[in-house]
Amino acid sequence: MRSDMTRRVTAEAIGTFWLVFGGCGSAVVSAAFPGLGIGFAGVALAFGLTVLSMAYAVGHVSGGHFNPAVTLGLWSAGRCANKHVVPYIAAQVMGAIAASAFLYLIASGKPDWTPGGFASNGYGPLSPGQYSLLSCFLAEFLLTFFFLVIIIGTTSKGAASGFAGIPIGFALTLIHLVSIPITNTSVNPARSTGPAIFAGLPWIAQLWLFWVAPIAGAMIAGFLARWLYEPAGIVETIVVEERRAP
């Protein structure tokens, strides 16, 4: 008999794998074809589509977090059980690393391919637009804050039932359109960790910001949500109300 927790963490790992493989993959492959790639808009849309598709594929199993910041933001809002936090985050990070490994193996099959930044996030000299540490921190903090406001708001009592995956996917697309030039867009510590491992030490050394800023923004949004949204009737998952284990 499959345990409830096993199903949940498997869903989180699969969803995060798809997010990193699809979103970062679109950037890595596009970069290999200068002038012919899909550009910022295409990469932004790819990230939004990964979340949208997996929200409906496995959101009813685990809640469809696919992001340690989302898990901690929902926990701070009283929407994620204590027992789920550490297993979810571990599964998300493992899924992101596995996706990055497969992406590296596939991308390296092209002659003369070089990983470069490998779709990693960075500030200062590693920022796509050379933005400062402060600029990058504020961008990641604010964008994750609003991402959690959207996630919690669209899954709260009174919101249209069953449609939350659509505004959440579009919100992630918008977030990328704003911040790809600034940080290459994280708002997700697991998404940042996987590619950084394969990009190298300079990107690994900057990972701290892409854990601290998104988690801080998400948790403040979660605490705000306790007051902003009526707690009664709130659903835990992105798509449908959570099925309680017997």
pLDDT average, residue stretch 205-233? 90
Once rounded to an integer, what is the mean pLDDT over residues 163-182?
96
**3-class secondary structure, 44:** helix
More confident residue, 18 or 33: 18
Q: How far apart are CA 200 and CA 115, in angstroms?
A: 10
Q: What is the pLDDT of residue 246?
A: 38
Residues in CB range of 157: below 8 A, 6 or more apart:
229, 230, 232, 233, 234
Rounded mean pLDDT of the chain? 91
Joined tokens for residue 177:
């359109």
Query: Nearest-CA neighbor of 201 among 93, 126, 132?
Result: 126
Token pair recorded at residue 71: 């898990």
Angstrom distance (rounded) from CA 178 to CA 139: 9
Q: Both tokens of residue 236?
A: 């835990």
DSSP 11: H
Rounded mean pLDDT, 78-84: 94
For residues 80-106, give the mean pLDDT: 97
Asked which of 5-9, 60-64, 155-159 is least confident by mean pLDDT, the reply is 155-159
The string of pLDDT tens digits covering residues 60-76 is 999 999 999 999 999 99
> What is the set of domains in the chain, with CATH numbers?
4-110+117-228 (1.20.1080.10)
Give the integer Cα–Cα distance in Å for 182 and 163: 30
Residues 60 and 240: beta-carbon distance below 8 Å: yes
